[in-house]
Amino acid sequence: MAGELERTKRGLDPAVAIELGDLFHSLSHDKKTRKIIAKAVKDAMPDSPYAAQFADIEQAERQEEFERQQEAKELKRQQEAAVAAMNAQRARLLGGEAGRKYTEEQIKDIEKLMAEKGIVNYDDGAVIYSHLQPPSDPQPSKDTPVHGSTWEFPEWSKYGKDPVGASRAVANQVITEFMKARR
């Protein structure tokens, strides 16, 4: 049997086996394919010494998972902070903390306006809402305001005796003060 070709234990031509080994080596050291090769080796032969050669991939996957979890936690924290800030703004519009006083219905209208305009700040939404809404009573009342019984006309003694003279005297006094302040 001296004329027969030598074969590997799996029946491959030695030249082909060497070529496949070189290919596997190249793929297992290429950044693009190393992860895929590591998974294939671990799935096919998890207890083999070859699987242990890809421990760096497992370490990198754990690190990536940890970073994803940290990013998710940070994103959740930021979302909760934004929601808390918006709830505080909403509470101020309802009249809490000496803020503006809007009804729940008006707040819903403000929120609708905010959604339409892409506004995320309740204060800005309220300003736009109040600008777009006409005043509830645009005309001033025709009734003159009634003052309390303790109110007194200032310097009545001067104005009661000579209203024109007292008015001129006060006007001259104000003009003199302006002229002194100007110098």
DSSP string, 1-62: -TTSPP--TTS--HHHHHHHHHHHHHHHHSTTTHHHHHHHHHHH-TTSHHHHTTHHHHHHHH
**pLDDT over 90, % of the chain:** 15
Report yes or no on whether pTM surpasses 0.75.
no
Query: 119 is written with which tokens?
Result: 């506004």
pLDDT class of 2 with cuts at 50, 70, 90: very low
Length of the chain: 183
Q: Which helix (H) or strand (E) holds 183?
A: none
Q: Residue 122 in contact with residue 92, Cβ under 8 Å? A: yes
Average pLDDT, the chain: 82
Q: Which of 114-123, 145-154, 159-168 has the lowest mean pLDDT?
A: 145-154
- 9-57, pLDDT tens digit by residue? 778 888 888 888 898 888 888 889 988 988 888 888 888 888 888 888 8
pLDDT class of 80 with cuts at 50, 70, 90: very high
